[in-house]
Amino acid sequence: MFAKNLITLAIMLSVASICFACPEEHDEEMSIMNQLDKDMGFENITEKHHTDRRRLASFRPLNIYFDMSEIESSLKRNGMSDRVQFYRKTFAIVGKWWMGALKVNDDRSEIVRQINRYRSQSSDYRFDISASRQASYDLLIKVKLCQNKGRALAYAGPRVRHPTSQRPITGTCCVLPYGDANFKKAKDSVNRGVGTIIHEFGHVISFISFDRYQRKNIQLNRSINRYEWIGPKVMAAAKNYYGCRGSFSGVPIQNLDGNIGGHWSETFLSDELMTPTTGASPEKVSPMTLALCEDSGWYQANYSYTENYSYGKGQFANKSSCKFTKSCPSPAICRSGTSGFVASNMRGIGYCAQDANGCPQERVYSNRDCMNGTQWPKEHAQYYGASYGGNCVIAEGSFVSVGGGYRRTGTQVSVQARCSNSRTSYELTFKKFGKDSRGNSTGDASVTCTRAGTVKFNTSYKYSSSVKCYDPKTFCGNRFGSIGQAKCDDTCTMNGRCQKVGNSRRELWDYDQWKCDNGRGCKSGYTKTGSKPKPKVTVRTRTSTSTSGMALCKDPVTGVARKPKTSTTPKPRTPTPRTTTPTTRTRSPPAFGTGNSGTQWKCWCYNNYRNSSSCPALAEDRD
């Protein structure tokens, strides 16, 4: 007879919110940048400076050089030689990502001369590369291992700027000890490093010194006590993202103690990559971030690098007048002060914090993410059938295991889930947790949920277990995305980035339409939204070419190529069959990675910098 001892497993939960870069590092950075801006004659940006940025020239792929000599020397000097290859891989990925995302069009021949003017001031402006090779790059970055205290992961900023366009042409990036420790202990260490450095590199590219270089793109929204970005590319992208048909106030940026910060507002954009903090799940790139780079006047963006960001999408009830307010979302995502609950995406255990407006904000404990099993108690797999990664979810219930004279009960366990195509049911699998009437293992235990409620299993055994079921449609939508919603393979969240690689015309914002709607002139074939349509006209085909040899999406802000029309009377067309499963009248789920409109979501993989349906693990990860 078993003793009826109930074992309670004590667990330590790690708060997940960490600074990408904290203000104390920025104080020193800003002081250096301000002095250098003054030396270069960029202390006061005039309309002439803005005009210089708009000079016509052909765009070329952004070419980046990372000088790794200093960080590698520091790592070896501190007995960390095993980290050299990790950072080589991390910065190689970051470079490939940004070089694919942006192009530049200023005069490259001026870059070396400009850098040489400041070589004597600091080693930050001297690079481990020959002058002849240096002349082939548009941006050169000094990578360093720096010292600090606190919970910052890294920081970065621009240094020397182009003499004509004012675009940053050199910069520094500092990896901090706290960041290195976090990267090292993560199962997806390269992914964590890449996400952090892509973010930091955004500060080198354009997300900094908004009050000096981008004043014309910013205005104050007093109703939320925030500055907002109102540049035309961001406004057009945001209107499309939020589903706004009329006016739009702007996209909120960080309030840094009453000053203009160098991030999007965490309060309003949550897990966007260019917000100030990072959590347990990777942040994502929105179309607004790429559009801001274009608004700067320095870049042309490749919008296929937009990721599966979805926070607040279509949130405004009044689509004719969209404006952010201080009011909290309703219903609230969680109750402030609560903790230990299953997160809304079903993948972790979370707690409810408050944002700057006092609104509830859900966070996931960094050591309770089901995609990373290394930080969960080993007993969960041994006694309760836990498994991690793949299609994992957090199951809640009473999971009973008997052995060694003890009866153990678990209440929150990571298991595998599979939703039916119709989303009317889902199945949970507890690995090797099935029991016969004697308590012997019968293999996996599977539970099918068809409605909200509690389902018992292992009922032939005297110590049965039970699990909480959710409404299948809600559960499957929260964990795997609604039918037609962006979906990438789960390997993408650890070994790559989920990108939109097959944009369809109706899913993209149209800059020409935005200008027409906002009184800036309507091009031929455009009418103000809601007005009577003009007679149809013949539209010439426009062809997009790529100087990089890469298949780029046509720019969704400056104009998407249209199909030619040979007459004013539309003719019926037979759709060309797609290679993926088409949407049918029975509304069956689309093919993997395919939205109902035919949009392809694929992984941009770290191992080869190409799009694929899934991404392999990396040797540089310390699993």
Q: 16: pLDDT confidence band, cut at 50, 70 and 90?
A: very low
pLDDT at 285: 94
C-alpha distances out from residue 200 to 22, 263, 497, Å: 12, 10, 17
C-alpha distances out from residue 229 to 21, 215, 265, 290, Å: 21, 9, 11, 13
Which residues of the chain form CATH 2.30.34.10? 327-481
Residue 166 pLDDT greater than 90, yes or no:
yes
The whole-angstrom separation of Cα 621 and Cα 367 is 17
3-state secondary structure of 603: strand
* DSSP H helices in 108-219: 111-116, 131-134, 177-185, 189-205, 210-213
Residue 452 pLDDT greater than 90, yes or no:
yes
Which residues of the chain form CATH 3.10.170? 17-205
Q: Is this prediction's pTM over 0.75?
A: no
Among residues of the chain, what percentage have pLDDT more than 90? 50
CATH 3.10.170 holds for 17-205: yes
Question: What dotted CATH number matches 327-481?
Answer: 2.30.34.10
Among residues of the chain, what percentage have pLDDT more than 70? 78
Q: 194: pLDDT confidence band, cut at 50, 70 and 90?
A: very high
Residue 330 pLDDT greater than 60, yes or no:
yes
pLDDT at 508: 41
Instruction: Tell me the average pLDDT across 439-453.
Output: 96
On the CB side of 307, how many CA atoms lie within 13 Å of its CA? 22
Place of tokens 């520094």: 172
Q: Which amino acid is at 290?
A: L
Encoded tokens for 195: 């996400």
Among 303-312, 351-360, 391-400, 559-568, the range scoring the smallest mean pLDDT is 559-568
With residues binned 3-state (H G I as helix, E B as strand, rest as coil), the percentages for the chain, rounded to 5, are 25, 25, 50
Strands ordered across the beta sheet of 611-612: 496-500, 601-605, 611-612
The partner residues of 103 in beta bridges, in order of sequence, read 61, 300
pLDDT at 491: 82
Instruction: Tell me the average pLDDT across 116-132.
Output: 91
Count of Cβ atoms closer than 10 Å to residue 547 Cβ: 11
- Verify cis geometry, omega within 30 degrees of 0, for the bond prior to 331: yes
Residue 324 pLDDT greater than 70, yes or no:
yes
